[in-house]
Amino acid sequence: MKSEANKNKFEFLRDLALELGAAEAKIVPASEIVVENRVVLKCRVGCNKYGKTLMCPPYAPSVNEFRKILSEYSYALIFKIKSQAEATAEVAKLLSKKEDDPALTDEMRKKIQDFWASWKADKKELLRKVCALEKAATTKGYTLALGFTTGSCMICDECNVKDRMCLHPTEARYSAQSVGINVLQTLENADMPIPVPFKKNPESFGLVLIA
């Protein structure tokens, strides 16, 4: 009963997430955030942004560091948003292609560009939501609340990696995957699954460690 009461006191944050446009939001024990070493390995071998932004590996806290940090929290807010980016079956098949692929027509290339432009705008909006929720928790007295977004940081066109100094430290947040969070499994365990592959509109994930 005590743990449920503790959990309920964070419902204000869930309510705010929904007000801000989250499709779903839940308060969960921090211990239910799934952290795995293999997630960061996937960053190394499967992402063309690896090493190109300070919010991603190898500059983000290591998985072991994050496990220790996570152990100091009891509750977290997880939420997901549905992107305004829309892909028909035809466009979905094109998204894996490079824009300079000679097989693409100008019309195909435009559809790909439009999708990624919309997706990028939604990812920036997700970051704003994460920061707003983190600030709301901080204002309520949870001064160590910390937000995470998904995917690579998109604030700057080119990250200031060479100087290892973020130019927007009050806005930038680490990617959940960059510290080893298995986003899909965490959401699956919370009965908030994200379909993969997505259908028409992709969904994304935000996290705030509260207290």
* pLDDT tens string 29-61: 999 999 999 999 999 998 889 999 999 999 999
* pLDDT tens string 152-202: 999 999 999 999 999 999 999 999 999 999 999 999 999 999 988 888 888
Q: Tell me the pLDDT band of 3, cut-offs 50, 70 and 90.
A: low
Please give the residue range of the domain that contains residue 28.
2-209
Q: What pLDDT is stored for residue 112 in this prediction?
A: 85
Q: What is the C-alpha separation between 202 and 119, in angstroms, rounded?
A: 9
DSSP of the chain: -HHHHHHHTTHHHHHHHHHTT-SEEEEEEGGGS-B-HHHHHHHHHH-TTTTS-TTSTTTSPPHHHHHHHHTT-SEEEEEEEE-S----HHHHHHTTS-TT-TT--HHHHHHHHHHHHHHHHHHHHHHHHHHHHHHHHHHTT-TT-EEEBSSS--SSSS--GGGT--S-TTT---BTGGGTB-HHHHHHHTT----SS--SS-EEEEEEE--
Whose CA is closest to 155, among 194, 198, 125, 114? 125
State pTM to two decimals: 0.91
- For residue 149, the cross-strand partners are 175
Which tokens go with 139? 């204002």
Domain count, the chain: 1
Whose CA is closest to 55, among 114, 130, 117? 130
Q: What pLDDT is stored for residue 106 in this prediction?
A: 85
HSE-CB for 194 with a 13 A CA cutoff: 24
